[in-house]
Amino acid sequence: MEVKLHDIGEGMTQADILSFLVKEGDKVKPDEPLVEVQTDKMTAEIPAPLAGVIKEILVKEGETIPVGTTLFLLEAESAGKETITSIKDTHTNTSTKVTETTREQQPPTKLHSFRIMAAPYTRKIARDAGVDIEQIEGTGPAGRITDEDVYRFIESKEQPAPKVKVKEQQVQQVQTKTESNDQQESPTIIPYRGRRKQIGKKMSQSLLTIPHCTHFEEVDVTNILELREIWKTSNQSISATALFLKAISIALKDYPIFNARLNEEEETIELIKEHHIGIATDTEDGLIVPVIRNVEKKSLKEIHANLKELTKKAQENKLSMKELTGGSFTISNVGPLGGSIGATPIINQPEVGLISFHKTKKRPVVNEQEEIVIRSIMNISMSFDHRVADGATAVAFTNRLTQLLEEPKLLMLELV
């Protein structure tokens, strides 16, 4: 039978082959992972649909393939006899004559020792520590290696020298020499595949499809920072991002055109009632956008708790597909990273808008009494789809958001 790349998430059309967990001739059990793939949102394992033997691998590591492509030919186990059918090779688009042969079932193929049961993040822990995962004994179900197994193994061994890492991907060194035989420094080559390649494709598609327009604004966040300090004295810590999320949700109620999707084929704009807001998150493997669902219905405490949980999962590459899909608006809080002046963020298609919050700085400001005072000022950048909304509407939206952030009493009043 054919084992194909199936749709493992909303809107998935293709994936990159990261690494194989089996080789031809391996005997596999139902639901055992066969291959790791990278979509534009997550790393996932494709499991075996049933018990059998891997007869042929039809794709290569590093290859980008569409949904529906045949990955493996699997010879299924049966009670006594098996029927093996040659099928169309969808990967090479060549057809073969369909024939059937029956034979007595062969003795089970010995499980190759190199095929290790472990999640992608567990493998990553081992790779980063320079540990050969084949040397680790798994304590999980069916001998699966857990994160704790890797950590215990690292502690029990003398720590090897850490590998040099470049953010995004492993580094490949290419040696070159000049014609005069004088050796030059080797350039650093970073493979363009996996999540970085998927991000590139999605950003390119967004820029080519959406006429981006970016609006900039300054926000005085002095009062909201003082409110957070008051909460801290009462052991009620609420992150600034949680407050930003709630303020955006309130503003979206007043300007729902920015919580929408454009369908050009049907010539419609769908106004989405639920506020599923994505949080652009920087991780070691690249940008990822977990989604906090129904922000409009949640309290500040609930939003803060959801935010902490999703951020932790994102850093550990443990987000589910549901937690990565279905967003209706996106924010990017780059202030903690040092982003200070502004940016032109790329919209997370098919959404209509995205706001970036930049670094907060203390600046001298002239108040209404014409006095010079020191205030905490933050810049924001809002990109929107100019097919769906106009500049005046975007300014009105950011004015409403600014009002809520500058006067926390108004924000609290909306929560009553």
Active site members: 386
Q: How is residue 143 annotated by DSSP?
A: G
**b/e sequence 334-351, b meaning 16+ C-beta within 10 Å:** bbeeebeeebebbbbbbb
Other CB atoms within 10 Å distance of the CB of residue 280: 17
69 close to 83: Cβ distance less than 8 angstroms: no
Kindly state the helix (H) or strand (E) to which residue 278 belongs, with its residue range: strand 277-279
Phi, psi of 55 (to 5 degrees): -90, -35
Query: Which residue from 247, 216, 230, 160 is spatially nearest to 356, judged by alpha carbons?
Result: 216
Residues 6+ apart with CB under 8 A from 307: 239, 241, 242, 245, 279, 292
Q: Compute the distance between CA of residue 46 and CA of residue 51 in angstroms, rounded to an integer.
A: 14
Tokens of 152: 């215990």
- The DSSP annotation for 151-203 comes to HHHHHHSPPPPPPP-BTTB--EE---B-TT-PBPPPPEE----HHHHHHHHHH
Task: Indicate if the alpha-carbon torsion angle 271, 277, 280, 285 is positive or negative.
Answer: negative
